[in-house]
Amino acid sequence: MRVLEGIGVSFGIAEGRALVIRRGERDVPRYRIGPAEVRREIRRFLGARMRAREEIGALRERARRTAGERYAGIFDAHQAILDDRGLGRRTIALIRERRINAEWALTRAVSELLATFGGLDDPFFRERGGDIEDVHERLQRVLAGDAPTEAHDLALEEDTIVVAPTLSPSDALWLHQPRIAGFVTEGGSRTSHTAILANALEIPAVLGVERATELIAGGEHLIVDGHEGRVVVAPPDATRKAYADERRRLEELAPREGGWAVPVRTRDGRRIRVAANVEFPEELETCRRVGADGVGLYRSEFLFLTTAPRLPSEEDHFAVYRRILTSAAGQPVVIRTLDLGGEKYFHEVLHGGEANPVMGLRAVRLCLRRPEIFRTQLRALYRAAVGHPNLRVLVPMISSLEEWRRVRAFVGQVVEELPSGERPDPLPPLGCMIEVPAAALEAPRLAREADFLSLGTNDLVQYTLAVDRANAAVAHLHDPFHPAVLELIERTVVAGREASVPVSLCGEMASDPLGAITLVGLGLTDLSCNPLVIPEIRAVLADVDAGEAARTVARARRAGTGPEIRQEIEQAFLPRVRALVGEVRLEPRDGADPPG
Tens of pLDDT along 275-314? Answer: 999 877 877 877 888 889 999 999 887 677 666 557 889 9
Same domain membership, residue 173 and residue 237: yes
DSSP state of 187: S
What is the residue-averaged pLDDT of the chain? 86
Same domain membership, residue 382 and residue 368: yes
In a domain, 127, yes or no: yes
Number of domains in the chain: 3
Last residue of a domain, one of 253, 288, 322: 253
Same domain membership, residue 358 and residue 236: no
Interatomic CA distance for residues 449 and 454, integer angstroms = 14
For residues 259 and 487, the model is more confident at 487
In a domain, 592, yes or no: no
Q: From the centroid of its chain, how far is CA 337? A: 15
Residue 146 has a pLDDT of 86
Same domain membership, residue 323 and residue 306: yes
Average pLDDT value for residue range 543-559: 96
For residues 392 and 122, the model is more confident at 392
In a domain, 593, yes or no: no
For residues 133 and 250, the model is more confident at 133
Same domain membership, residue 106 and residue 18: no
Burial 47-64 (b: 16+ CB within 10 A, else e): ebbebbeebbeebbebbe
Of 146, 148, 137, the residue nearest 59 (C-alpha): 148
In a domain, 236, yes or no: yes
In a domain, 587, yes or no: no
Read out DSSP for 548-564? HHHHHHHHHTTS-SHHH
Indicate the angle between helix axes 193-200 and 74-82, nearest 10 degrees.
150
Q: The domain spanning residue 14 has which CATH number?
A: 3.50.30.10
Domain hosting 318: range is 264-581
Same domain membership, residue 311 and residue 426: yes
Apex CA 236: angle with CA 232 and CA 242, to 5°? 75
Residue 538 confidence (pLDDT) above 70 = yes
Any long-range contacts for 76-80 (C-beta under 8 Å, 24+ apart)? 76/306, 77/131, 77/193, 77/306, 78/131, 78/134, 78/135, 78/169, 78/170, 79/53, 80/306, 80/307
Residue 582 has a pLDDT of 66
Q: Is the peptide bond before 426 cis (omega within 30 degrees of 0)?
A: yes
In a domain, 292, yes or no: yes
pLDDT band at 359; cut points 50, 70, 90: low
Question: Percent of the chain beyond pLDDT 90?
Answer: 59
Residue 308 has a pLDDT of 58
Tens of pLDDT along 152-161? Answer: 667 788 999 9
Residue 19 confidence (pLDDT) above 50 = yes
Same domain membership, residue 157 and residue 143: no
In a domain, 591, yes or no: no
Backbone angles phi, psi at 25, to 5 degrees: -70, 140
Residue 385 has a pLDDT of 97
Tens of pLDDT along 436-462? Answer: 999 999 999 999 999 999 999 989 999
Last residue of a domain, one of 149, 178, 201: 149
Same domain membership, residue 440 and residue 327: yes
370: left (phi over 0), alpha (psi -120 to 50) or beta: beta
Residue 45 confidence (pLDDT) above 90 = yes
Count of beta carbons in the 10 Å neighbourhood of residue 386:
15
Residue 258 confidence (pLDDT) above 90 = no
- Residues with a catalytic annotation lie at 193, 506
DSSP state of 420: G
The H or E element that residue 141 is part of is: helix 128-144
Q: The domain spanning residue 69 has which CATH number?
A: 1.10.274.10
Residue 350 has a pLDDT of 46
Residue 596 confidence (pLDDT) above 70 = no
* Identity of the amino acid at 394: L
Sequence-separated (6 or more) residues with CB below 8 Å from residue 494: 523
Same domain membership, residue 406 and residue 504: yes
Residue 351 has a pLDDT of 47
In a domain, 296, yes or no: yes
Residue 136 has a pLDDT of 92
For residues 438 and 579, the model is more confident at 438
Same domain membership, residue 224 and residue 112: no
Among 8-12, 352-356, 422-426, the minimum mean pLDDT is found in 352-356
pLDDT band at 589; cut points 50, 70, 90: very low
Q: The domain spanning residue 442 has which CATH number?
A: 3.20.20.60
For residue 275, the cross-strand partners are 528
Tens of pLDDT along 182-221? Answer: 999 998 776 666 777 777 677 899 999 999 999 999 999 9
3-state SS of 217-282? CCCCEEEEECCCCEEEECCCHHHHHHHHHHHHHHHHHCCCCCCCCCCEECCCCCEEEEEEEECCHH
Tens of pLDDT along 223-245? Answer: 999 878 899 999 999 999 999 88
Tens of pLDDT along 121-145? Answer: 555 555 566 778 889 989 999 999 9
Residue 571 confidence (pLDDT) above 50 = yes
For residues 105 and 299, the model is more confident at 105
Query: What's the predicted TM-score (pTM) here?
Result: 0.71
Same domain membership, residue 497 and residue 358: yes
Tens of pLDDT along 52-100? Answer: 999 999 988 888 887 666 567 678 878 888 888 889 999 999 999 999 9
Same domain membership, residue 241 and residue 386: no
Interatomic CA distance for residues 462 and 554, integer angstroms = 23
Residue 397 confidence (pLDDT) above 70 = yes
Last residue of a domain, one of 132, 149, 166: 149
